[in-house]
Amino acid sequence: MNHLQPFCPRNVVSLPIAKSSGWHLKRYAILAEGKKFDRKVASAALDGAVVRLPHAGSLDDQDGNHGVGFQIIHFAEVAVVSPVFFWQWGSVLANIQQMRAPWEHPTEFVSGVKEVVGCIWEMEVVNFEVSAWANTMLSNIGTPHEKLADYFERRLPTAKTLVKT
């Protein structure tokens, strides 16, 4: 793989929202060329995220996290990588250390490179989610719980929807 190859968009799949251990996570899968979505890998990525996330706070918690975030499961060329982000203090996006599973053991997620936030394809999802959060949760329209419902309904427009996981 040439690390400076021309940019080519990748297929993005919108997965159902996961609710686990008090967390509500919007989820996406990104598929590199020749890679297919795998439910077992996605499930293992969710399990790996939940054990690494801090204790889930509540939407009303102004001093901690809100128990809301998003996960990307990137079926990339060299491995499956899964950055996980969560919202705290109203307007701050936090993340856990990137998770990574080698293709030889794609359901065994270990910590990836600490400094990595995400690749260019993952940043498309991050940019969308930041905008969706700002335009819903930080708006003057509705109650906090109505805003959260609106936030969960917003999905990356180019993403295909997966019916079941």
d(CA 24, CA 161): 18
Q: Where are the domains of the chain?
A: 11-118
**Looking at the whole model, is its pTM more than 0.85?**
yes
pLDDT tens string 73-115: 999 999 999 999 999 999 999 999 999 999 999 999 998 877 8
pLDDT tens string 52-78: 999 999 999 888 999 999 999 999 999
Do residues 158 and 12 lie in contact, with contact meaning Cβ atoms separated by under 8 Å?
Answer: yes
**Nearest Cα to Cα of residue 94 among 70, 75, 72:** 70
CA atoms within 13 A on the CB side of 21: 12
Domain 11-118 listed as CATH 3.40.198:
no
The residues, ordered by sequence, that sit 6+ positions from 109 with a Cβ below 8 Å of its Cβ are 44, 45, 48, 80, 82, 99, 100, 101
